[in-house]
Amino acid sequence: MADNYRGNIRSNLGLLCYAYGLTQSKLAEKMGMSQAGVSKMFSNPNYGFAIKPLVKLTEVFNTDLETLVKADLIGELKIRITKSKN
């Protein structure tokens, strides 16, 4: 189950960065982390997300922890796009 959450977080991070126009470097700056650390969040499927960075991500993206961890934002976006085309 933890693997699903890790996948959700990575997918959601990518979508949120795109939506906010943030590069990994800019996200690292906002989070007070190194760019290498942020890169690991995106690329390492076994990256263990600690609470402090997760909370910081919710602040950067103005969202809640449950949405960041559990939501399938890409799936929800596809549904919204499909509905708006109809």
Domain holding 16: CATH number? 1.10.260.40
Specify the length of the chain in residues: 86
Q: Report yes or no: 54 and 65 within 8 Å, Cβ to Cβ.
A: yes
Q: What is the pLDDT of residue 80?
A: 62
pLDDT at 78: 63
- Counted domains in the chain: 1
**Domain of 29, in residue numbers:** 2-85
pLDDT at res. 8: 85
- With a cut of 60, say whether residue 1 has pLDDT above it: no
Interatomic CA distance for residues 9 and 27, integer angstroms: 14
Span 26-83, pLDDT tens digits: 999 999 999 999 999 888 888 888 889 999 999 999 988 988 888 787 777 666 656 6
pLDDT of residue 69: 87
